[in-house]
Structure 1
Amino acid sequence: MKNIQMKKPILLLFVIALLSVSCNDFLDVNDNPNNPAISTPSLTLPVAQQSFAALNARTMTYLGNFLVVNWATPSNWSANQIYCRYNFTSADFATIFETSYSDIFKNLTYVENYEDPTGAVDYSNYKAISKIIKGFQYQLLVDLYGDIPYSEANLRGDNTTPAYDDAETVYKSVIDDLAAAVDLIQNAPDNAEDPGSQDIIFGGNMDHWIEFANTIKLRMLVRLSNTGQDSYITTQIASINANGGGYITSDVVANPGYTSSANLQNPFWDYFRQPTTGNQTDRGDYTVAAEYGINFLNANNDPRVEYLYAASSTGGNYKGAPQITTLPGTGYTSNDLAKVGPGLLKSADQDQVIMSLSEALFIQAEATTTARGYLPGGDAAAQALYESAIEESFVALGVTDAVTEAQAYYDQDIANITWDSSPNKIEAIMTQKWIALNGTSSIESWIDLTRTGYPSGLPIPVESGGVRPLRLLYPASEVARNSANVPAQTQDAVFTNAPFWK
């Protein structure tokens, strides 16, 4: 697996550039670069990208890991009780909605709309990158909330109460925008500005941005598989094939130059480890392995267990806790349980994964199965993609002799592990995708679970009444400022308002 890496001199230039935007550290997005008159796309884009990476690394990944039963809370902590009761309110996870609009989209829209006053510089590449990141984030917002502001969004003072667009309409508009972004790149004029080191994801490599756009688009099209729109899906996939850009061939990661210093750490690492010392944060102590997830790995001889989880500090065991409300003094404490592992928490300067190659291969595998038939090759080709996806998961976690270990793993005669032993190929793909996205894009596992019902058998905490959430509630802040447009919602909407594609 090849990650896109930037050289240190380029990183230094990036740090200097961002320091010119903010009077604080280079990852601080509180001082919005849209406000200064001197801001340009080269100053604004990396700030938007960092905010985008951080939101997906923290709130969205954390939520996803609890909803698909990868993580739990030990008995010596009262934190996180919401995850075993599922009593989500409009006060919960508001950061997902708010940061998307007030920060990420705001900055990216500035980049999209910017025109060089001298006319000497063309910013087509910057505009395309902005469209692609927006597409990624809009897709997630539709999946998590349903109808959202789109056509009237991001107008700032011109419209502070945007209308809400139909979820399916937004999806198809985003798919069109992704195609437009590819067209922008492929037809950029000779004087188009090279983002270079200001692009903290691909370092200005526009071919990789085309691959990423195509992969996001394929993910969205596969998500429509239950809607009876196979003709639309195959037509759109044909347009991907026509642009010739292909799909990602390495992990998509962001790294503006993370270090161990305060406010400069990788955002996922920062959730669990303190600056400089690397000591455990409170979150690092009260986030432990879920009993179901860790037992599934152990029961199926999966060596990734030692990389996805860190052995307990007392006894060195790989033991998890059930996702239930546990009274203090009962059950297992944080010292008795496995925690977030070394394959996920590598170092303060680690790359932040946006989309893994493993995920992309699983998406292609699903699209290729006979059950879907969107890509050519049938189940034989899907098997090769499925097995490659598992191998890439082992590689990404740093498993010793990763490919050999992966092959030994998926050669076991066990359903949903070995392809030939799996009668339901979609279930096998979703099960293995769930394992591969543990700790990274786990919010996608929750969305896949809602869409397909797989992986099957995931326990539902008794405190929730035996039902699992299907969506989030619009935040109270949005309801207050845009009450005329926010769709009506009640607490029950969390469990009853399924996404349009379900």
Structure 2
Amino acid sequence: MKNIKIKKTILFLFTLAIVSVSCDDFLDVNDNPNSPPISTPSLTLPVALSDFTDLNARTMTYLGNQLVVNWATPSNWSANSIYMRYDFSADDFSNVFETSYVSIFKNLTYIETYEDPTGAVDYSNYKAISKIVKGFQYQLLVDLYGDIPYTEANLRGDNPTPAYDDAETVYKSVIADLDAAVALINNGDNAEDPGSQDIIFGGHMEDWIEFANSIKLRMLVRMSNTGQDSYISGEIASIIANGGGFIHTHAATNPGYSSDESKQSPFYDYFVQPNGAQQNRQDYTVASEYTLEWLTNANDPRMDRLYKAAANGGFKGAVQSTVLPGTGFTSEDLSKVGPGLLVSADQDQIVMSMAEALFVQAEATVRGYLPGGDAAAQDLYEAAIEASFIQLGVEDAENEAEAYYNQPIKNVSWSNSPNKIEAIITQKWVALNGTSSIESWIDLTRTGFPLGLPIPEESNGQRPLGLLYPSSERSRNSNNVPSQSAGDVFTKAPFWR
């Protein structure tokens, strides 16, 4: 399995500095993005992709890991109590909504609507990338909030109070936009090559087609409980027909990350300072007792890549609770985020892993949306586990993965797992630990798997199903934001559930 090295011919800090200066006026919310005073798609694209990556690498991943009980907090820290009580408010995680609209979508919409005044440059590839990234982020917003602005969104000064669209309508519109993005690429014979300005695939547009197809398949599989098999099958047939396939390596960002100040890979930077010292977050983010026990019972060699041994040796986790024993559970007694996740300051930042894409294909095959039946689903399932072992840097990964999934253990071995969907989602939960764990929370809401994840005693006994619209949005767009109470995060399920 090959790893594509993203081109690093641009100087990261220099590029971001140029773009941030060039886009100062454009980023003013009062400007019309369809006629910005400064900037071009080539300057705006790396900023949009960086903002998109940073949000998903930090807030989204941290939130996901807490909600699916991968991480806990030691008793000598008061941080993170929100994850134990589940008392989410309209001010919590507001950057998920706000950064998406105020920054990511704004820049991507500018790229989509930009017309070269000279008529000499065809920016179709840039427009296609924008549609694909917007599709990825819109999917997450629907999954976490439900109805969101879509058809009237991103017009800024022309419409600062956009209407909210029905969640299912947004999903299907995004799916159509992903098809349109693939068509733009396939028909863009004379389109400008984004090259190193594309900090995810380095201008390799065939990889963007694979990414678009992978996002679309994930959305369609997520709709499997809606009774729309005819629609789902038809849309999957269109994926197969475009011939682009699915991602064959990680979709990962790297504009030239390094150990220099403000240039570290975003997830790594969340935990490690540029001088190598740990951030406080690394001290108050430790392994959960539940997940360590699960990995131990499964004889999973990924454990010492997902977590590092405690200072006094061995692996030890904490329960998710604000009421813990005062001794034996401090940060020095517990396992922290491991070396397979915190590799180096210049590590690629994964947006969608190869393992995730393969697990989605495995589920689609089990559900009959992709051909091949049980044998093909098993091959995809085992390939996904192997991809996870490789990603985490397990020594002799291929052989270790084979030995692991051949154990006669439920939700490890394919043949010993009577519920194949449960096995897929459970192993996906392990593989997405520390990477795209927001997907594991969404999968848990959708399927109920993995079974048995504990709920903190301080909560109301229910795990949240989503997030509340930010108070800032309710203030500025009060006539359109759907009515919502704090309890809705526990009772209002996404449309696809």
Task: Please give the range of the TM-score, normalised by the shorter of the 2 chains.
Answer: over 0.9
Structure 2 match to 1:235: 234
Structure 1 match to 2:290: 292
Structure 1 match to 2:441: 446
Structure 2 match to 1:338: 335
TM-score by length of 1: 0.96
State which drifts further: 462-471 or 390-399. Answer: 462-471
Post-superposition Cα deviations, 1:317-358, rounded to whole Å, max 9, x if no partner, equal 211100011257355000000000000000011000000000
Query: Residue 291 and residue 179 in structure 1: after superposition, are their counterparts in 2 closer, same or farther (change >3 A)?
Result: same
Structure 1 match to 2:84: 84
- What CA distance in whole angstroms lies between the structure 2 residues aligned with 1:42 and 1:5? 20
Structure 2 match to 1:282: 280
Q: Secondary structure at the match of 1:354?
A: strand
Q: Where in structure 2 are the equivalents of 1:206-285 lying within 5 Å?
A: 206-275=205-274, 277-285=275-283
Give the unaligned 5+ runs of structure 2: none
Query: Residue 327 and residue 382 in structure 1: after superposition, are their counterparts in 2 closer, same or farther (change >3 A)?
Result: closer
Code of the residue aligned with 2:46 in structure 1: it is P
Query: Residue 410 and residue 32 in structure 1: after superposition, are their counterparts in 2 closer, same or farther (change >3 A)?
Result: farther
- What CA distance in whole angstroms lies between the structure 1 residues aligned with 2:429 and 2:186? 35
Structure 2 match to 1:302: 300
Among 342, 347, 350, which residue is 2:347 paired with?
A: 350
Q: Secondary structure at the match of 1:253?
A: strand
Code of the residue aligned with 1:59 in structure 2: it is T
Query: Residue 30 and residue 308 in structure 1: after superposition, are their counterparts in 2 closer, same or farther (change >3 A)?
Result: farther
What displacement does 1:16 show? Answer: 4.1
- What CA distance in whole angstroms lies between the structure 2 residues aligned with 1:61 and 1:249? 22
- What CA distance in whole angstroms lies between the structure 2 residues aligned with 1:329 and 1:301? 30
Among 311, 317, 320, which residue is 2:317 paired with?
A: 320
Structure 1 match to 2:133: 133
TM-score by length of 2: 0.97
Post-superposition Cα deviations, 1:381-414, rounded to whole Å, max 9, x if no partner, equal 1000000000000000000000100111001000
Among 392, 398, 403, which residue is 2:398 paired with?
A: 403
- What CA distance in whole angstroms lies between the structure 1 residues aligned with 2:79 and 2:162? 35
Code of the residue aligned with 1:195 in structure 2: it is P
Query: Residue 82 and residue 309 in structure 1: after superposition, are their counterparts in 2 closer, same or farther (change >3 A)?
Result: same
Code of the residue aligned with 2:213 in structure 1: it is N
Structure 2 match to 1:174: 174
Contact 1:15 1:256 in 2 (8 A): no
Query: Does structure 1 residue 473 correspond to structure 2 residue 468?
Result: yes
- What CA distance in whole angstroms lies between the structure 1 residues aligned with 2:238 and 2:53? 28
- What CA distance in whole angstroms lies between the structure 2 residues aligned with 1:483 and 1:33? 23
- What CA distance in whole angstroms lies between the structure 2 residues aligned with 1:182 and 1:119? 23
Q: Secondary structure at the match of 2:6?
A: coil
- What CA distance in whole angstroms lies between the structure 1 residues aligned with 2:225 and 2:70? 26
- What CA distance in whole angstroms lies between the structure 2 residues aligned with 1:330 and 1:442? 30
Percentage identity across paired residues of the two chains: 71
Structure 2 match to 1:43: 43
State which drifts further: 35-44 or 289-298. Answer: 35-44
Q: Secondary structure at the match of 2:252?
A: strand
Give the unaligned 5+ runs of structure 1: none
Query: Does structure 1 residue 484 correspond to structure 2 residue 479?
Result: yes
What displacement does 1:308 show? Answer: 0.1
What displacement does 1:32 show? Answer: 5.9
Query: Residue 145 and residue 497 in structure 1: after superposition, are their counterparts in 2 closer, same or farther (change >3 A)?
Result: same
Q: Secondary structure at the match of 2:424?
A: helix
Q: Secondary structure at the match of 2:140?
A: helix
Q: Secondary structure at the match of 1:20?
A: helix
What displacement does 1:23 show? Answer: 4.9
- What CA distance in whole angstroms lies between the structure 2 residues aligned with 1:295 and 1:165? 43
Q: Where in structure 2 are the equivalents of 1:369-388 lying within 5 Å?
A: 369=366, 372-388=367-383
Q: Secondary structure at the match of 2:351?
A: strand
Query: Does structure 1 residue 420 correspond to structure 2 residue 415?
Result: yes
Q: Secondary structure at the match of 2:415?
A: helix
Query: Residue 2 and residue 15 in structure 1: after superposition, are their counterparts in 2 closer, same or farther (change >3 A)?
Result: farther
Q: Secondary structure at the match of 2:458?
A: helix
Instruction: Tell me the C-alpha RMSD between the 2 structures.
Output: 1.5
Structure 2 match to 1:157: 157
Contact 2:359 2:424 in 1 (8 A): yes
What displacement does 1:437 show? Answer: 0.1
Among 452, 459, 462, which residue is 1:457 paired with?
A: 452
- What CA distance in whole angstroms lies between the structure 1 residues aligned with 2:162 and 2:3? 39
Post-superposition Cα deviations, 1:246-287, rounded to whole Å, max 9, x if no partner, equal 000001100011111111111101110011x11111101000
State which drifts further: 31-40 or 386-395. Answer: 31-40
Q: Secondary structure at the match of 1:185?
A: helix
Post-superposition Cα deviations, 1:184-224, rounded to whole Å, max 9, x if no partner, equal 0001142x111000000000000000000000000000000
- What CA distance in whole angstroms lies between the structure 2 residues aligned with 1:438 and 1:319? 17
What displacement does 1:294 show? Answer: 1.0
Q: Where in structure 2 are the equivalents of 1:30-109 lying within 5 Å?
A: 37-109=37-109
Paired residues, number: 491
